[in-house]
Structure 1
């Protein structure tokens, strides 16, 4: 945190000895200075547009996320500004949690990857985290909330939208853009012959099928104990509240267009802050990766079955699916001292009912 103070002193924005994190009345442009702070160490130009030159080594994108996390923590703990997104109009909230900083970080990541920096996979989101999000969003003060406030960054309908997008992307292994682009005529909700709620999603095209011909994703309502993972329940709740029956299923706030991926990412990160989870390792791909791992590790689907469902090639010479199943950025399944602890307690499998470690 002291590094950000030193940067502001160097730029003549604050006086020496001032701790920006405890200042009560902040400059409305403070989020711009956070971007400048990150640019100075991790970008090829500074916030004044001056090139840093080839001899000044740039730090990695991973380091940039740590710098941002440090400022977020500083304003949250020392400044008691919480996890509410920054508002320039009122100068309230946490400046590090702003649309400007989020947009810059997305652009920086793309530039780093283009220049050859190894891309770090978004951390997979697991069923336990989805359960926590479900339980938090369904609290009456959140689910039934119609007004924004300093302590509540969105209304109940936004939480319904998020729940539906989370679980459709997670269970259908879709890219976030594919979910946000869904139109009303592409989703069919119905009861099957056993009177079980179902929904069918038919994409008009996607990256690996630009001319269409994509098999539908047919989903059934999951049991009550798996409600936090059920896209049928989540989508029905969203449609019941929004009453959308044509056009974009997930419109933006102005209701004239779909929300952009970066807007969704900011909302998702805000939701993670509600759970005191640092959101920066997560991205829009977290749901696709998490769903893939859920199918493989908990539902015990074969790799071929996952590929068929998700629309990946079953030509296993490239094994693109491996990057969805395994990443060093994911939360470890076991501590290092637990691998050879053969009598460790295990969780009962919801599918087969076994409790042995191989279940």
Structure 2
């Protein structure tokens, strides 16, 4: 039987019947024990003839009480107090760790948005080129332009060149000894300073540009540092303070990410709304299905469409980042011979993996919505690949004749294909979608269409409690599907529908 009062609890503890762990399970923390007089009263005051006066701290009010207790009881109470203090400190540490994890999750989600924006950078650049003038003919500006052009040679990247040129010229004017080709521990600060100059409040002496200008600037500088350090990782940043060695992209540093998150919040408070990648809906997926598998296409284009739509569907149904979908291998698929209703998918590594246990999905056939059926998608895929036993990447590139190659599809290729597909469908807002739109849309599909509960979606996505930030952002976005909001409170309409 569990003790009902602190007095009973103290008595059991003094007898050795209650461990520190069980005390904690009962919710008895240092902050909760506000009645040390009860605790003292429960102590056997007749354990010894010698009695002493012991001050006992009252934690909740910072008061001190006194109680007459035995020496042995005093030792026991002192042990309780020390234990509870340690438990309190541990709880504070856990709270601090949770806050750090929440902050890390927010930065991770922000970086996902940045990756998505990077995919639709051309349109973003076009919208902001006027904010990076080319009429500066000073020697430093001319020199900066030459440096930018020598490394960004693609003719379609003229907009990026202008942003990069402005960045280089800004720092060279401030410090002629600044090295445009160097990447040091100060490079993230240089990036932050330039973006602040462009997008800080005009009342503080900055240019006051929109948050989207900051996003375009960061994306262009990502291209710049990729071009001058092509062999470095493009997904992280690490600076060794001892050796001074820098690895990865400075635009992905925590300093830059935290600054961008703060800038976005500042702009939002001022009434500016930023746009992350919009979610794809089930109807969007139906249209992509019809486009990719259009019988009017050439045989080669149809074969490419089969592979492309299979990636789209897997990312959507499994709520994957697109790079996770593309990382699937033939060995990731486990189909029991003769089983026609489902197959299992195992993803060995995930960005958000919480344990060493691989995440497994079981995907079932969908006769009610054939366009969303994973079994049908894989049957078509096997028809394209032929009877040959294959290993390695599951989603392979096809050449211009529709022949299967040994190369895996890549994120940039799929991103361009999605943009082309949405434009072919006539989407005027195609630039608002990116490869992260499948993950967002898949999450909303499970909630709104399949009527899953939140805990089901969390388990399916492999999300921890900390990643609830990500889940909520996927459930709800100001850009997504609110055209029927005017009917949300129409109870009469819903009641009528329920009777039908």
Does the pair score TM above 0.5? yes
> 1:357, 1:65 → 2: CA distance?
46
Q: Secondary structure at the match of 2:419?
A: helix
Taking a change above 3 Å as real, the CA distance of residues 212 and 5 of structure 1, as seen in their structure-2 partners, is closer
- Tell me the distance in 2 between the aligned counterparts of 1:187 and 1:208: 21
Superposition deviation, residue 329 in structure 1: 2.4
Residue 257 to residue 49, structure 1, CA distance change in 2 (3 Å): farther
Question: Residue 443 of structure 2 contacts residue 457 of structure 2 at CA under 8 Å; is this kept in 1?
Answer: yes
Q: What runs of 5+ residues in structure 2 fail to find an aligned partner?
A: 1-125, 138-152, 172-193, 198-204, 217-222, 228-234, 236-248, 265-273, 400-404
Please give the alpha-carbon distance, in whole angstroms, between the structure 2 residues aligned to 1:263 and 1:174.
17
Q: CA deviation at 1:180?
A: 0.5
**Number of aligned residue pairs:** 282
What is the TM-score of this pair, normalised by structure 2? 0.48
Q: Any conservation in 2 of the 1:65–1:280 contact (CA below 8 Å)?
A: no
Residues in 2 aligned to 1:318 and 1:131: alpha-carbon distance in whole angstroms: 29
Identify the residue that residue 7 of structure 2 maps to in structure 1.
Answer: none
In the aligned structure 2, how far is the partner of 1:274 from the partner of 1:2? 22
Q: TM-score, normalised by structure 1?
A: 0.64
Structure 1 residue 211: Cα displacement = 6.5
Q: Distance in 2 between matches of 1:287 and 1:200?
A: 20
**TM superposition shift of 1:141:** 2.1
Alpha-carbon contact 1:191-1:197 (below 8 Å) kept: no
C-alpha displacement of 1:215: 4.0
Q: Which residue of 2 aligns with 1:162?
A: 308
Aligned partner of 1:231 in structure 2 is 374
The equivalent of 1:50 in structure 2 is 169
- Counterparts of 2:209 and 2:360 in 1: how far apart (Å)? 44
Q: Which has the larger radius of gyration?
A: 2
Q: Secondary structure at the match of 1:202?
A: strand
Structure 2 residue 285 is matched with structure 1 residue 134 = no
* Cα distance change on mapping 1:317 and 1:56 into 2, 3 Å: closer
Find the aligned partners of 1:57 and 1:341 in 2 and give their Cα distance. Answer: 46
State the partner residue of 2:320: 174
- Contact 2:341/2:364 (8 A) holds in 1: yes
Which structure is higher in strand share? 2
Say which of 396, 402, 407 aligns to 1:251: 396
Taking structure 1 as reference, are residues 116 and 5 closer, same or farther at Cα in structure 2, changes over 3 Å only? closer
Structure 1 partner of 2:440: 289
CA contact (8 A) 2:128 2:213 kept: no
Q: Which residue of the partner structure matches residue 62 of structure 1?
A: 212
Please identify which structure carries the higher helix content: 2
State the alpha-carbon separation in 1 of the partners of residues 213 and 376 from structure 2. 39
Distance 1:355 1:213 in 2: 47
Alpha-carbon contact 2:307-2:396 (below 8 Å) kept? no
Distance 1:276 1:227, change over 3 A: same
Mapped to 1, the partners of 2:252 and 2:362 lie a distance apart of 34
Name which of 334, 338, 343 aligns with 1:188. Answer: 334
For the 8 Å contact 1:170–1:290, the answer to whether it is kept is yes
Q: Which of 299, 311, 317 in structure 2 is aligned with 1:145?
A: 299
What RMSD over aligned residues (CA atoms) do the two structures have, in Å?
Answer: 4.1
Conserved 8 A contact 2:295-2:302: no
- The structure, 1 or 2, with the larger RCO (C-alpha pairs under 8 Å, 6+ apart) is 1
